[in-house]
Structure 1
Amino acid sequence: MKRGYFCVLVLVALIFASTSFAAERVVDLTATDGTKLKATFFPGAKPGPGVLLLHQCNRQRKVWDGLAQQLASAGINVLTLDYRGYGESGGDRFDKLPPQEAARVQNEKWPGDIDVAFAYLESQAGVKRDIIGVGGASCGVQNSVQTARRHPEVKSLVLLSGSSNMDGRNFLRDSANLPVFLAAADDDQLSMQTIEWLYTIDANPGKKLVHYAKGGHGADMFPVHPELLGLIVDWYVTTLVKTPGHAPADPNPPTVPADVQILNAIDQPGGPAKVTSQLEEARRRDPNATLFPEGLVNVMGYEHLQSGDAKTAIDILKLNAAAYPNSPNVYDSLSDAYLADGQKDLARQNAQKALDLLPSDTKDPEQLRNNIKQSAEQKLKQLGEAKN
């Protein structure tokens, strides 16, 4: 009788120990400047690799709970983090910050905060610190790619509905040994284009792209496509557990639209000139040919402008204006580039061109048209010439 009772107690203890080992726990972290950060750690069911999940900028860390629990059950330790200004983390609420301050926090504060979380994940018992994965959605895509740039122990990435800057794109081009899983939906058009762009850039032969017709943005795809959770779990099991840093080549790789593929050409040294020639050739066959999406090329131009490379920015934005000659936004952007390069006459001409096109602009939303008007008029005032 006593022996049977003892066995029952042992069994209960083992069950409790197993349950408590797998139970998630809220973690308090401290950023280098003293800001308090909240995270949740999901211990794996057994010792294994770790994954850091970084949320999109219209959500917080709990959006990852379902995925994190499945990964933990598969033997992968997971840490989810609230960025400063989000969820339960400290800092001024991000959505209340002026745009310039928000950009400063993203660029100067978040990387250090993420590194604090990364170090915590690596320090946990049972985590194989040399085999780490990172995943992100929306703005978390940029954060994930940059985290991989800073940490060579990152062996796998999952990127949902987002983009990365010029440095991040160059990193992916040079990272043939880093497998990347990407997913987005067509009803989130810009994100679909940026994810396809990153897919064309990525140098790893084991990269995988999941393309949905509908599903929304980032982790919002999970309720619509619950199988996506399983695909991500399988991806991390393959690239972190079974064959760390490796994924088999996709036997049926998706076809990426030509207008997205050409972004990679523009993004290369000498690319704007080559694509300008391609555009001229295409226009001989079809006077309305554009070849590439206006918005992403505009972003590319501003990236070069912000990095101090005004000459390349001008080349890219001139190409955009050639493809979209009726867009006031491209001329306002080109005006910014000329102004940064000290070419005041051309800056003035393009700002005025933007204003001249605004009355006939039916494509852009009202808020963007107002922003273009304000930007162009401000430049003309700065250059000493008021609008006609």
Structure 2
Amino acid sequence: MFTICLISMAAGFFSTSAMKWPFYGSVIVLTGFTYGSVVTRGLEVGIPRWAPMVVAAVGSYVLFAALANRYVSMAYLELLFLVGVFLVAVTCRPTVEQLLSVSNVVFSVYLLLSVLVYVEVIPLARELALFEYGDLLVLGLPFRTFVGFYGSTAAIDVYALFVAAINVLYGRGVQRWLFVILGVASSLATLRYTPLVALVLALIATAGWRSLGPGFGRRVYVGLLVVSCFASAMLVVGAIEWADYDVLDTFQVLTSGRSPIWMEMVNAFRADANSWTAVWLGTGTDEVYAVDLGFSHGNLIANPHNVYLEFLLKYGIIGWSLLLVFSIMVFSALLRAGHFFLAALLMLSGVTNLHTFGFFYPLYLLWLGWFHAMSEAERRSQQVTRTGQGRRHQWMAR
């Protein structure tokens, strides 16, 4: 797990230079080991019944999409990697202490490298995506928003907040509060409010989840939450068009400037209606839908700033639907409020952040896989307990 996280970190740093290919290649190799681990380790602990179906569905989609588009892009390999990392956590089932230790060490390395990039000790192959506030002075100098190792505020705001959250729930002793402070401070230093909004919404969503209790109502609730996140960009665009653009400025504030990007990219996707491969199977890249909003100094914006919209552009309606069903399945299986809260935090953060699920942050998938594994283990334990009690009652009745 540690190796996967470090190599993915290097791939993210070199993502815009030719140096990325050795690291991407390593990630691809690790993807193969990932699936091999699922099979070998899964045979020992029992592969989840749904795992072969998920692997077959995602593998078939990638093969068909690659043949239809006549090329194999990193986006298709990324999809295999994401599912593979999730399945490794499900089958290998690390203890919470092991997973938390890996998370804290990886974040420590990432934070140190982020600081070195921020103070320009480590040069980045692209311009830092930060903001400078001349009226806010720190040590007599204008304050510059903190950035992650990959060169943007979005590359650390959610990541740092997530590390703080897992330490609040599962950490112990001095180390617990050290990483809580480091995580919260790093996130706040980006001056981005969207992760905090996601945090509040995750708390509200968890309160609603707990109030329903196990059963059909909770499953419907989870399904609506996941669908709302996956369709968030389309829902916002639809609301703006329905209101005849009168609410465009409001949504621009609510989405931290994302809504105009979503509108342009959704319209570009609609314009591809004559291309069934682009609509149904995707293009394998979001570069096709790069847009110019007039404030990017002549540079096209290829980042949709919404991981679910990116899924739609890269993987089409079929790939997007597969990920939607997979996400509903994962969320519906969660039994503990802490697991649901952290999963909801990641899900809601993806509405205004592209970095939630991808090559560069496998840690998120490891935790989601662990949540699912623990929930399945608890469910089986409850079933065994109920079966044992039922047999005991039958014996006593005799």
TM-score norm. by structure 2 comes to 0.28
1 or 2 for the larger relative contact order (CA 8 Å, sep ≥6)?
A: 2
More helix by share: 2
More strand by share: 1
